Structure 1
Amino acid sequence: MRGEPQLSFLEWDSEFFGHRIARVESSAFEERSAEDILRQARSESIECLYLLVDAASSESVRAAERLGFSLVDVRVTRDCTTHRENPGGLPEMIDLCREEDIANLVDIARESHRDSRFYHDPRFSDERCDDLYATWIENACRGAAAGVVVLRDEGRAVGYITCEIPQADLGVLGLVAIADEKRGMGYGARLFNGAMGWLAGQGCSRIRAVTQARNIAATRVYEANGFRTVSVENSYHLWLDGVDGVDGVDGLDGRGVQ
């Protein structure tokens, strides 16, 4: 794997969190590639590495764990084929985000995504993670997403799903949240069906969703609506100030950092 680009510097994440952050790009993470990866990270003054590996690859999982990466999430990708026809409009209580909705949605975002990997890394404060999702939904409403489908109660936005269309026939469900006081009232199914219908109306015949394995409620919704698991990946973080040794690679003798 020598000679391959193995790290991608994440400018947005780095600026937002105030640490130099990069993502490991190696297609097959193995202990023998770790020396190059860690040396490159050190040479670029990287403080934190993100790593995503196939959960079924025991070699990659063992390598990540032996090298000190911390498991912060198990990411499950599910797909389904939609047979919904263009409804010709959004159903009752469902609408697209408007400028005046953003303040409400930001408040919801700050309390709704505690299952994400960022909250499970103690080096990121809960307050900064709250800010992350507040910024994320605001940017989505201002055009970063293909669409933000919202649920309204008496005209007020009380829930959202961000939607992406990376390919002409593929829709992706992103952030999903409902105001705390509206949960358990059946609104989630209404919002979900509204987003599915909107994506179908944009010509999407396939829908994809990525969730955290720890998010049992979301898992139930997707499985009940015909989504099938297509991949399971482990998400890891490594803070390089926790890797001892010269250039951070002492002990890399084929057995990993000891």
Structure 2
Amino acid sequence: MIHPTALVDPAARLADDVDVGPFSVIGADVEIGPGSQIGPHVVVKGPTVLGARTRIFQFASVGEDCQDKKYAGEPTRLVMGDDNVIREGVTLHRGTAQDRGETTIGSRNLFMAYAHVGHDCVIGSDCILANQVTLAGHVKLGDFAILGGLSAVHQFCHFGTHAMAGGGSIITKDTPAFVMINGNPAEAHGLNLIGLKRRGFSKEALKALGESYKLVYRQGLTVEQALAEIRRRYELPEVDTFIASIEVATRGITR
């Protein structure tokens, strides 16, 4: 299962059925779960943990030192869940001692070709980062987030669960859950309705979220006034998620 031209450090911990392609390099302090496939010309550096059924395509770099100039070689980590797909040329960097010390990625994510995840990012599960998406350090993505190709996210931004960014978006503020944004600089353009319908959201939840969106974006209210009115009108978990994603915003929300 390990090609004779691959270099696997004796200290690496690979499940018995892991497939490592030609000319790939697996460093010490790397753990790779069962059913994983590491393609040719891949570099995985530790400390890094890759869950079960990880698939990495050629020329990807996973778990490398970050590009933060303050990083001085401290022992930091990259930890990923199961069933992630990492396409050609993707770069995923470990954390820094100045933050969490760990870049954390959930399960069932798709990182398309040449996407980049910077240090200390926290990515949920079931996300899609299209070709050449770039996440700066300290970015947080909720579950089911979708970022269109060539999008860039500023450091420390939060991008909410089920939110979507169109291709080429420049994202410098936080994006609330369920919201669809686009442009440079990115602006809000309504709810990600198609995605929410595909994922089985109820008509009641969609109606409440639509009205909540209008209160925040179209009624001329302050954010605090809008959230107070939303709380008065609705008691739904989906609306609670929308509210929470705005309350945790540290850079202001995309308008």
Calculate the TM-score normalised by the size of structure 1. 0.29
Q: Which has the higher contact order (CA 8 A, sep 6+)?
A: 1
